[in-house]
Amino acid sequence: MSSRTKTTVTTLHNMKQDGEKITTLTAYDASFSQVIDSQKIDVMLVGDSLGMTIQGHETTVPVSVDDIIYHAKAVASRCKYSLLMVDLPFMSYTSPEMALRNTARIMQEGNAHMVKLEGGAPQIETVSQLTHHGVPVCAHLGLQPQSVHKLGGYRVQGRSDNDGQQMLDDALALQNAGADALVLECVPVDLANKITAELNIPTIGIGAGAGCDGQVLVLQDLLGITPRAPKFSKDFMLDSGSIAGAIAAYRDAVKDSSFPAEEHCFL
């Protein structure tokens, strides 16, 4: 009989305290959910990246709450041990009230365990309201794909001293508002390390260096089927004989901090 237990928010907090790296992968359907879960990935993310990987859009902006719920429900059906995190899509949380309504649907209909939202200071009240109502929240700073048109493209964030300080301030404010975890995307390594050291909650990096408390990748990037893979990704299928083997290789590389390597990071 397996001794494996369900990953919870408490598990993630304990992993940070114990120095054990957190593994996260995106999932969009039942078949891949089953494989990911079997390879002992800690967190599955039903990301609005499905707009690009599944729907074929150029950005995540067109993804709706109904889209997210459809995919979350499919993933949840085979997600037995991993914690299931689900994105709040573009313009679905423009007020705390809207965020509460859509989160209720995502958790009740999509069976999510945690929701993720993008943004710093403007989201403090929303995070506070969600956590007040018993919702685990993962915040997301750095490159925020839902704001790609405002940012002018997919660019590294936090390189100036002022921008870096603002990101740190936002991270601390989100933690104080009740966020249970923080994704840092496309952030210089030194800044990501500083934020990780300052926070009590775990950081999950993507293009933010191996110093974060965990890592997340888009499944299609890991499998080498993304037409133009981002710098921070790695094709784990190259040296693996199967999809399960590639996922296991990713898991092991994150756990022993060999991924991400220097070539996957921004200085």
Confidence of residue 267 (pLDDT cuts 50, 70, 90): confident
Closest CA to 27 of 69, 65, 74, 63: 74
Q: Which residues are annotated as a binding site?
A: 48-49, 87, 116, 118
**Mean pLDDT, to the nearest integer, of 234-256?**
97
Residue range of the domain that includes 61: 9-264
- Catalytic site includes residue 185: yes
Reply yes or no on whether the pLDDT at 230 is more than 70. Answer: yes
Looking at the domain assignment, is residue 3 inside a domain?
no
Looking at the domain assignment, is residue 1 inside a domain?
no
Looking at the domain assignment, is residue 2 inside a domain?
no
- CA 66 to CA 106: how far, in whole Å? 9
Reply yes or no on whether the pLDDT at 265 is more than 70. Answer: yes
Looking at the domain assignment, is residue 4 inside a domain?
no
Reply yes or no on whether the pLDDT at 1 is more than 50. Answer: no
| Domain CATH number, residue 254 | 3.20.20.60
The gap between the terminal CA atoms of the chain, to the nearest Å, is 45
Q: Which residues are annotated as a binding site for Mg(2+)?
A: 48, 87, 118
Confidence of residue 2 (pLDDT cuts 50, 70, 90): low
Q: Domains in the chain: how many in total?
A: 1
For tokens 């990911």, name the residue.
36
Across the chain, mean pLDDT equals 96
Looking at the domain assignment, is residue 123 inside a domain?
yes
10-35: per-residue pLDDT in tens?
Answer: 999 999 999 999 999 999 999 999 99
Looking at the domain assignment, is residue 187 inside a domain?
yes
Host H or E run for residue 163: helix 161-177
153-176: per-residue pLDDT in tens?
Answer: 778 999 999 999 999 999 999 999
> 93: Cβ–Cβ under 8 A, 6 or more apart, which residues?
99, 102, 103, 117, 123, 126
Looking at the domain assignment, is residue 15 inside a domain?
yes
Looking at the domain assignment, is residue 188 inside a domain?
yes
Query: Active-site residue among 125, 185, 198, 263?
Result: 185
Q: Which residues are annotated as a binding site for 3-methyl-2-oxobutanoate?
A: 48-49, 87, 116
pLDDT the model gives residue 3:
82
